[in-house]
Amino acid sequence: MNRMTLAAWLIFAVASTSQLTADEKNGGLSGRWVMDAERSSYGRMPLPKSYVEVIDQKEPIITISTTSEDQRGEMKSFMKLTTDGRESLNEINGNEFRSTSHWDGPKLITTVTGDRGMRMVEVRSISADGKTQTVETYMGEIRGNPQMKRVMVKKDR
């Protein structure tokens, strides 16, 4: 697997773990989230045609089922993580990802490390009305502007 593919999977993995907000630590995060492509950017990488997540939040465990579609077709993944700082291990299409998540005030910080040591950090925050979530991705560590930004809108259907 080349680095670009691995990076794509890593981004996919990070994105799968990132749809959390401090305001919804009580379980309100559970639901269906759809990416708003107009307000999102994957930097140099093309945006997927669609990106939908179904989250089940039962603190400290959160499970996220993701369905995305790009030019290669539909991809599904399932991630399970804990927000108590313990390390989680997940697998997407044969690639393993280790992640740790913790709340930093209203933001959830998730660090994901891939098989080859590639590392990404995502910072998640939520709008005041709780209907929009912004996910910022940093390669390596949080520094400067995020390399990716995804805006997710909560939609029941």
Q: Which residues bind another protein (CB under 8 A)?
A: 63, 65, 71-73, 75-76, 78, 80, 87-96, 98
- Adjacent-strand bridge partners of 122: 110, 137
- Separation of alpha carbons 92 and 67, rounded Å: 12
Shortest reach from residue 44's CB to another protein, in Å = 20
Burial 108-121, CB ≥16 within 10 A → b, else e:
bbbbbbbeeebebb
Shortest reach from residue 112's CB to another protein, in Å = 13
Grouping H, G, I as helix, E, B as strand and the rest as coil, residue 10 is helix
Name the residue nearer to another protein (CB basis): 84 or 91: 91
CB atoms within 10 A of CB 127: 14
- Tokens at residue 95, please? 């690639």
Name the residue nearer to another protein (CB basis): 32 or 80: 80
Name the residue nearer to another protein (CB basis): 89 or 142: 89
Name the residue nearer to another protein (CB basis): 75 or 118: 75
Shortest reach from residue 91's CB to another protein, in Å = 4
